Amino acid sequence: MKPTATGEQRAKLWKILPGLAWKGVGSNGTVYYPYFGAGIFSVFTYFVFSSILHNDIIRILPRSAYAWIMLQIGRGLLGIILLPFLFYANSFLIKRRKKEIGLYSILGLEKKHIGIMFLTETVITFGVVLAGGIISGIILSKFLFLLLLRMTGMPVDVEFVFYPAAFAETAVFFFWVYMVNLVYNWMQIGKSRPAELLSASKKGEREPRFLWLCAAAGVLVLGEGYKISMESRMDSSIFTNFFLAVFLVIVGTYLIFTSGSIAFLKLLKKRKGFYYRPANFITVSGMLSRMKKNAASLVNICIFSTMVIITLVCTSSLYLGMDGVLYFNYPFDMDAHFRESGFREEQSGTKLRELEEKYGLQVKENLNYRKISLGCGKTGNAFGVEFAERTRQEDNYRVNLLLEEDYNRMENRAASLGEEEVVIYSEGADFGYSEVIFSGKEFTVKEEAAELRIAPKAGKNSLSGEFFLIVRDEGVWNGLADRWMTENGIEDKEGFLDERTERVLRLDVEGDAAEKAAFIEEYGSWCSTQPGYAGFSNNLENRADSREMMGGLLFIGVLFGLIFLMCLLLIMYYKQISEGYEDKENFEVMQKVGMSGGEIRKTVHKQILLVFYLPLFGAVLHTAAGLFMVDKLFGAIYFYDTRLMVECAAGTVLLFAAVYGLSYWYTASVYYGIVNGKKE
C-alpha cells in the first residue's frame, strides 16, 4: 500500500516541481534543444508574415495588392503546416521522456505532480521560443521585407514599422499550439501505468494487419497518383487532379513504407538459403526491426523531402524563367485599339514623332494591323459556332482574321494567297491539317506559320491559345465574318462588323525606363482622345503587376522551402536519436554473443544507410512524376519552358542530395555517440 504523504512533505514536493521541470529540460538537451530551435524558427517565420501583413506600407505601395494576397495565403498555409509538425516533434519528445516519468511515478510522484511539471516545462518552452522567435523576427523582418520589395519590383526606400497586432497574433497562435501539445502530454501520462511508461520509449509501431494486401494497395495507389500526374491536362479539372494526385501519393507512400517494405523483408526472410548467412541474417533482421519501428518517420522524411525539392524547383524555375513569362504575356511595350472607321494613321505617326523628340527616345518597333476576333468551337480541322455548344470549354478558341497585306508587312514576307487558300498560325499546339473549315467554308492551308511577331507561340499553351487565319483580301475576310454572323443569328451585320473590326497598334520603345513610362503614359492619354478609340494597354505597368505577383510567390517559395527543410532535418535528427537509444542495448547483446565492435558498427551502419536513403529515393521518384503536373500547372501563369524546369530539377536534386548526405553524416555521429555512451 502506497504511503500517504504528510502536509509538510506535500509542500516540499510542490516546491521541487519547478526544479524538476528545469532539470528535465536540461538533462534531455539532446531532444529539447532541437525542439527549441524548431519552435524559434516557426515563431520567427509566422511573426515575419504577420509583421509584413500588418504594415500599412504593404497596402499603400503601388501595385502591392498581389503581394498582400500572396502573404495572406502563405500565412494560412504556414499555420496548417506548423501545427502538425510541432505536434509531431512534441510526440517524439514525450516518448523519449516516458521512462523518466515512469521512474518519477515509482519514486512517489503522483500524476497531478507530473502534470504540473509538464505545465512548467511547456511554459518554459513557450517563453523561450516566443522570445527567441520574435527577437529574431525584429532583427530580420526589415531585411526580409526589403527582399520582398526587391522580388516584387516595388520601391525599397520605405520605412518598416512594427505593429502590436503582429505580436499579439503570433503569441495567440503559438499559445494554442503549445496548449494542444500540453493536453496531449497530459493524456499520455494520465492513461499510462508506471510499468508501461518505463518501456514506452522502446515500443515501435505495430506491424500492420493484412500486410500483403496493404503492400499491394500501396503500389496500386501510388501508381494511380503517378498516372494522374503524368496524364493531367491544363483544363478545368487540373486543380482537382492536383490535390487528388498529392493525396494518392501520400497514401501510397505510407502504405509502401509501413507495409510494402516489411512484406519485402519478410519475403527475403523466407528464403532460407539467403537469410541464414551471417551478414544477411543480421542485415535483414535489423532492417525489419527498423522498418517496424520507424516506418512512419520515414514516410514523413520522404514527403517533406519531396516538398523541399518541388518547392525549390518551382522557385528557381520561376525566378530564372520570369522574363520569358513576361514576354509571352506582353511582347510589346504598349497596345492601342481603335475601331477601323475611326483610326487616323497619319495623326498617330505625327504624335509618335513628337514624343520621340520630346523624350529623346526611339520607337524600335511599330506594328499596326486590322483584325476581326471571332469565338468558335473546334472539332478536328473545323471551326464553327455550333461546336462551341457541345465541346469542352478548353476546346473553344478565338479565331483572328487577318489580311495578307498586313501579314506580309509585319512579318516581312511575300505570301501570295489564292481565294480559297489561307495561312494559319496557332499560339498553342500546331494546327496540323492541310485543310481548314471555317463556318462551313473550306480552305487549303498553304502554310502553317511557325511564328508570328504579334503572338508568341508555345506548343503547350492550351489555356489561351488563339488561332490566326490570314486570308487573301477584304472580300474573303468579309465573307467569313458574314458566315459567322449568320450562324450566330446576327441581323445588323454592318453595324456588328464595324464594331468588331479593329485597328491594333503595337509599339516597342527603346531608352531609359522612366522616360519610357512617361512616353507611353502620354501616348495612351492622347489615344483616348482620338476618334474610334477602343482601349489602351500599358504593358510596362502590366509587366510590373505580373512581376509583383510572381515576386510574392518567389518570396513565399523561399520561406516555405526553408520551413520544409527545417521540418525535414528535425525529423531526421529525431529518428537517429530514437534509433541510437534503441540500439544501445542491442550493441551490448550482440557483443555478448561474440560479434566485435567493428563488425557491429559496420552492420548497423549498413542498415541505417539503406533505411536512411530509401526516403530520398522515394522523393526523387515523386518529384519526377510530379514535374509532369507542375509543368501543366505552370501553364496557368504562361510558363512553358520545360527544359529550364528539368535543368532546375536536376540541379535541385543534386544539391538536396548533398544536404541530405551532410545531415546523415551529422545525425549518424550523434547516433554513434549515443550508442557508445557519450551522449545521454
Question: What does the DSSP assignment read for 193-252?
Answer: -HHHHHHHTT--PPPPSSHHHHHHHHHHHHHHHHHHHHH--SSTTHHHHHHHHHHHHHHH
Q: What is the pLDDT of residue 655?
A: 93
- What gap in Å lies between CA 278 and CA 281, rounded to an integer? 5
Q: Render pLDDT for 475-512 as a digit per residue (tens, 0 to 9).
A: 898 889 888 888 888 877 777 777 778 889 999 999 88
pLDDT classification of 405: cutoffs 50, 70, 90: very high
Residue 347 within any structural domain of the chain: no
Tell me, yes or no, whether 196 and 54 share the same domain: yes
Tell me, yes or no, whether 314 and 369 share the same domain: no
Cβ within 8 Å of residue 484, ≥6 positions away: 374, 376, 385, 438, 439
Mean pLDDT confidence for 585-597: 61
Collapsing DSSP to helix, strand or coil, 506 comes out as strand
- What gap in Å lies between CA 244 and CA 595, rounded to an integer? 50
Q: Render pLDDT for 534-567 as a digit per residue (tens, 0 to 9).
A: 889 999 988 888 887 777 777 777 877 888 888 7
The tally of domains found in the chain comes to 3
For residue 289, pLDDT beyond 60: yes
**What predicted TM-score, i.e. pTM, was given to this entire model?**
0.75
Residue 221 within any structural domain of the chain: yes
Place of cell 505570301: 415
Tell me, yes or no, whether 483 and 560 share the same domain: no
Tell me, yes or no, whether 227 and 275 share the same domain: yes
Q: What is the pLDDT of residue 521?
A: 92
Tell me, yes or no, whether 197 and 222 share the same domain: no
Tell me, yes or no, whether 677 and 548 share the same domain: yes
pLDDT classification of 526: cutoffs 50, 70, 90: very high
Tell me, yes or no, whether 271 and 384 share the same domain: no
pLDDT classification of 569: cutoffs 50, 70, 90: confident
Mean pLDDT confidence for 672-677: 67
* Residue where a domain terminates, one of 490, 510, 530: 510
For residue 680, pLDDT beyond 50: no
pLDDT classification of 436: cutoffs 50, 70, 90: very high
- What gap in Å lies between CA 524 and CA 521, rounded to an integer? 5
Q: What is the pLDDT of residue 136?
A: 86
* Residue where a domain terminates, one of 489, 510, 531: 510
Q: What is the pLDDT of residue 202?
A: 53
Tell me, yes or no, whether 86 and 166 share the same domain: yes
Q: What is the pLDDT of residue 275?
A: 63
More confident: 313 or 595: 313
Residue 522 within any structural domain of the chain: no
Parallel/antiparallel/unpaired status of strands 396-403 and 362-379: antiparallel
CA 172 centroid distance within chain: 27
Residue 348 within any structural domain of the chain: no
Residue 525 within any structural domain of the chain: no
* Residue where a domain terminates, one of 203, 223, 239: 203
Considering only 211-215, 247-251, 370-374, which range has the smallest mean pLDDT? 211-215
Residue 450 within any structural domain of the chain: yes
Tell me, yes or no, whether 233 and 173 share the same domain: no
Collapsing DSSP to helix, strand or coil, 502 comes out as strand
Q: Domain of 109? A: 1-203
Residue 653 within any structural domain of the chain: yes
Tell me, yes or no, whether 197 and 229 share the same domain: no
Q: Render pLDDT for 322-335 as a digit per residue (tens, 0 to 9).
A: 888 888 889 999 99
DSSP letter for 260, please.
I
For residue 628, pLDDT beyond 70: yes
Mean pLDDT confidence for 247-275: 76
- Which amino acid makes up residue 160? F
Mean pLDDT confidence for 420-439: 91
Tell me, yes or no, whether 42 and 182 share the same domain: yes
Residue 305 within any structural domain of the chain: yes
Tell me, yes or no, whether 251 and 328 share the same domain: yes
Q: What is the pLDDT of residue 2?
A: 47
